[in-house]
Structure 1
């Protein structure tokens, strides 16, 4: 089937990557590289981060749970397993780690305040071409309504600027589903009015792309600097 729609992830594709913020936080606090990302993923669908992106928990309630989960000693074993699977040296000891949930999340989301000029131009050209439906499919969360400065630091202006370009802007926080759950891709295709194999999907996270590809979507991975 011909391609009818191009679907973009937001964080890490259209704007800076929260992953870069995670790595910066790890460097600033002397944490092993990828320790935090491994800990976030290991929380599964009941983790605070996952709940936030499904709109099940408010931001200010999220911070404490996020920090507590990432500070739990059980993450050390998950990290050792990740290193072993990756063929990397596994340290005999890992020091206790204490993560401030708000500080980490603020550092992560500060990256999303920066638009990627190349992707922004590409979206504009695709939009102007008129041959494709242009959509966004993003895992996101409710920005604070009572603190405009905090919302701005988390990329509010960049998100608003992008919204104007998309024909569809599909948000995990509103539909209660998040990538890589296959249901969110079905939901997106249904809303857009296409079949999965009629779409090209761009994301920066491998598991999100693999899940989409299994449904028949054409996928492109955007690497962050």
Structure 2
């Protein structure tokens, strides 16, 4: 049901706008290194690899070198690492972009994503191939990315920073995310939320907001 107070909509990226399959990345690294997928997941989790990269503690070179170190595979090329890392990124349905363009006529639109620079480069390639639009910044007033902000959802500070920087009132703002913890954290700050759960997409969730 439409909330008539809403003036601003903040979107997550993965599995909200762009389809993703997170386990594919660990599978790709397993195939690259000749290890079991479960071992890859344990190694990456134990070393907080993704968190470090997605909060900007590691830059691209640092991320790739850390992958080589963790996997004990010094000959792994930059391209091989990037390809494995990006393998979780799937497609971006054009109809979701059309919805965003429609919503932009009446709402201020923002993106808030836990992500990395390598992923964003690839997402922009997928976006252009799918729609002809060159970059995410062409769809949103501001694109808020965890690796640039030094914070990750569901840390309450990341939502507060978005509200403050964009000059938004929580009660006038709607946030869509596929992760329940992220939704709950935003709700506690007074932000209206929609928990996006496949197979339902933003086309259905936001049909009452579209023109």
TM-score with structure 1 length normalisation? 0.65
Aligned: 1:134 with 2:102: no
Alignment of 1:34-183 (within 5 A): 43=46, 47-66=48-67, 106-112=83-89, 114-128=91-105, 130=106, 132-143=107-118, 154-157=122-125, 158=127, 160-183=134-157
- SS for the counterpart of 1:7 is strand
- SS for the counterpart of 2:117 is coil
Instruction: Indicate which of 189, 194, 203 corresponds to 1:220.
Output: 194
Structure 1: which 5+ residue stretches go unaligned?
72-99, 145-150
CA deviations on 1:79-115 (whole Å, 9 max, x unpaired) are xxxxxxxxxxxxxxxxxxxxx8976763452343621
Aligned: 1:12 with 2:15: yes
Instruction: Indicate which of 24, 33, 47 corresponds to 1:21.
Output: 24
Q: Contact conserved, 1:21 with 1:109, CA < 8 A, in 2?
A: no
Q: Contact conserved, 1:52 with 1:62, CA < 8 A, in 2?
A: yes
1:67, distance to aligned residue in structure 2 (A): 6.7
1:193, distance to aligned residue in structure 2 (A): 1.1
CA distance in structure 1 between the partners assigned to 2:63 and 2:30 by the alignment: 23
When the two chains are superposed, the root-mean-square deviation of aligned CA atoms in Å is 3.5
Partner of 1:86: none
Residues 105 and 220 of structure 1, relative CA distance in 2, 3 Å threshold: farther
Residues 26 and 181 of structure 1, relative CA distance in 2, 3 Å threshold: same
Instruction: Indicate which of 180, 183, 193 corresponds to 1:209.
Output: 183
1:52, distance to aligned residue in structure 2 (A): 0.9
1:133, distance to aligned residue in structure 2 (A): 0.8
